[in-house]
């Protein structure tokens, strides 16, 4: 029948600048190993947490359970829940805007369109799967999930 489990790594928990800070902490921790070994675990742990933190969801088809989890240092934390039959997998779009202020009193607004993928089960539970700024890349990421659940992708994106 194929693969019985699917583990979907959705997104990192910390933004890019925090991951850079995590690299700085790792470097500081390695330097502290030489000069002050008692204090080195603190920055090493902080850097490791910042670099390895991500969100994911795991499905087990044999026992029909899923786990929405957060992973730190490759340990996954989350509760297992039963799921029913898959009703649909769908993509929708959302507009994300951010106002950036400069030294001048006026600012500019940056707008992006994000595409989000969700799965809905027959009991009405909706779970977030993945997102991307490019719809074709998101569809490509969803092919394994669609094959796993033997379902189709419904596209509810709004074209502006």
Q: What is the pLDDT of residues 68-119, one digit of tens each?
A: 999 999 999 999 999 888 899 999 998 888 888 877 777 788 888 899 999 9
Query: Is 68 inside any structural domain?
Result: no
Average pLDDT over residues 23-27: 96
Average pLDDT over residues 22-42: 94
Give me the pLDDT at residue 18, please: 94
Query: Is 61 inside any structural domain?
Result: no
Residue carrying structure tokens 């569809």? 139
Query: Is 6 inside any structural domain?
Result: no
Give me the pLDDT at residue 100, please: 82
Q: Which band of pLDDT confidence, cut at 50, 70 and 90, is reported for residue 2? A: low
Q: Could you give the CA distance from residue 6 to residue 12 in angstroms, rounded to a whole number? A: 18
Query: Is 52 inside any structural domain?
Result: no
Give me the pLDDT at residue 53, please: 94
Query: Is 35 inside any structural domain?
Result: no
Q: Report pLDDT digits (tens) over 37-64.
A: 999 999 999 999 999 999 999 999 889 9
Query: Is 20 inside any structural domain?
Result: no
Query: Is 158 inside any structural domain?
Result: yes
Q: Could you give the CA distance from residue 25 to residue 80 in angstroms, rounded to a whole number? A: 33
Give the total number of structural domains in the chain: 1
Q: Which band of pLDDT confidence, cut at 50, 70 and 90, is reported for residue 160? A: low
Phi-psi region of 69 (alpha: psi -120 to 50; beta: other; left: phi over 0): beta
Average pLDDT over residues 32-40: 92
Give me the pLDDT at residue 124, please: 86
- Domain with 107, as residue range(s), is 84-160
Q: Report pLDDT digits (tens) over 124-147.
A: 889 999 999 999 999 999 999 999
Q: Could you give the CA distance from residue 61 to residue 73 in angstroms, rounded to a whole number? A: 26
Give me the pLDDT at residue 54, please: 94
Give me the pLDDT at residue 159, please: 66
> E-assigned strands of the chain?
5-12, 54-60, 65-72, 75-77, 80-82, 86-101, 107-121, 126-132, 153-155
Query: Is 101 inside any structural domain?
Result: yes
């Amino acid at each position: 029948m194929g693969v019985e489990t699917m583990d979907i790594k959705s997104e990192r928990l910390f933004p890019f600048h925090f991951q850079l800070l995590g690299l700085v902490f790792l470097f500081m921790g390695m330097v502290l190993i030489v000069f002050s070994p008692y204090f080195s675990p603190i920055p090493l742990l902080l850097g490791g947490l910042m670099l390895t933190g991500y969100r994911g969801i795991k499905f087990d088809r044999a026992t029909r359970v899923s786990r929405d989890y957060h992973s730190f240092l490759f340990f996954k934390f989350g509760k297992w829940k039963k799921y029913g039959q898959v009703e649909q997998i769908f993509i929708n779009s959302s507009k994300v805007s951010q106002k950036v202020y400069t030294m001048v009193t006026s600012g500019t607004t940056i707008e992006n369109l994000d595409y989000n993928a969700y799965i809905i089960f027959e009991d009405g539970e909706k779970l977030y799967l993945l997102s991307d700024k490019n719809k074709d890349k998101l569809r490509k990421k969803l092919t394994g999930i669609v094959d796993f659940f033997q379902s189709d992708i419904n596209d509810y994106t709004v074209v502006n």
